[in-house]
Amino acid sequence: MSFCLKFVMPSDPRYLCVVRGAIGPLAAMMGWDESDCRAITLAVGEAVANIIRHAYHDSAGGSIELECRENADGLEFILLDKGDAVDRTKICARALGCDQPGGLGTHIIKDVMDTVSYEATAGGNRFIATKRLRKAI
Amino acid sequence: MRISIRDAGDAKVVEVDGDVDLGSSPDLRRTLFDALLHASKLAVNLAAIRYIDSSGIATLIEVLKDSQRRNKKFVLFGLSPAVQQVFHLTHVVRIFQIFQTEDEALGSV
């Protein structure tokens, strides 16, 4: 039986620390080192924060579902929300290294995760990211 | 997140402890902008930060830009491993003046 962790939470940034408190230990238990655990936790936190900011416009009244699934290669993170659709023109739109604030979260997610997708479905927005665990040969 | 501020000559040293995320970065932003009004130089100690996300990085960039507009100094020191990792991921290392120690940060021109 594979592991699956599911959060259903309001779009309130106070819950971000709860998510982080679970993702880091989960990644460590799967075998990632401390640096990777921090990066994975950061990337998932950025994805949730993006929903709060951009799908729900900082309103705490929305709902967010986060599933973390263990698979043969590593972990899969699925986020669902019913807020505004993702504006694809803003994904990694700002160049890295520029001295303007904002737009860095999607770069972090893309850099840390192995695959990332953003989908609009009838039930809302779905974000899926995977992180492979590279086993020592 | 906990923030404390102390005077060091014409400068102010800001200590930030804990997690800086979407929920806490507005407090950090308010504190740094206010402190910048009352000092010629602001040195921020990031050694005790366990977590910082892109909203925290954006806050630091905003304060840096404001310091430049006001012809004041804004420097960072003591970056924790978590901060170093996010700075690396976001390529912002070259944007800031970063020092190892408080003495180096306060002594910088």
Chain B closest CA to A97's CA: distance in Å?
5
3-state secondary structure of B60: helix
Burial class (CB in 10 A: 0-12, 13-18, 19+), B48: middle
Chain B closest CA to A111's CA: distance in Å?
7
- A4-132: CATH number: 3.30.565.10
B58: Cβ contacts below 8 Å, ≥ 6 apart: A101, A102, A104, B25
Contacts of A104 in chain B (CB under 8 A): 54, 57-58, 90, 92
Are B64 and B93 in contact by the 8 Å Cβ rule? The answer is: no
Domain count, chain B: 1
Band (A135; pLDDT cuts 50, 70, 90): low
Q: Is the pLDDT of residue B89 over 80?
A: yes
Convert the pLDDT of each residue in A84-101 to its tens digit: 988 888 888 777 777 777
Contacts of B51 in chain A (CB under 8 A): 20, 38, 41-42, 45
Q: Which chain A residue has its CA at the smallest distance from B62's CA? A: A101
Convert the pLDDT of each residue in A13-55 to its tens digit: 999 999 999 999 999 999 999 999 999 999 999 999 999 999 9
Q: Which chain B residue has its CA at the smallest distance from A106's CA? A: B54
Picking from B55, B69, B83, B85 by the largest number of A CB atoms within 10 A of its own CB, the best residue to mutate is B55
Percent of chain A at pLDDT above 70?
98
The whole domain housing B32 covers 2-107
Contacts of B22 in chain A (CB under 8 A): 13, 16, 49, 52-53
Query: What's B17's domain CATH number?
Result: 3.30.750.24
Chain B closest CA to A88's CA: distance in Å?
18
Percent of chain B at pLDDT above 90?
97
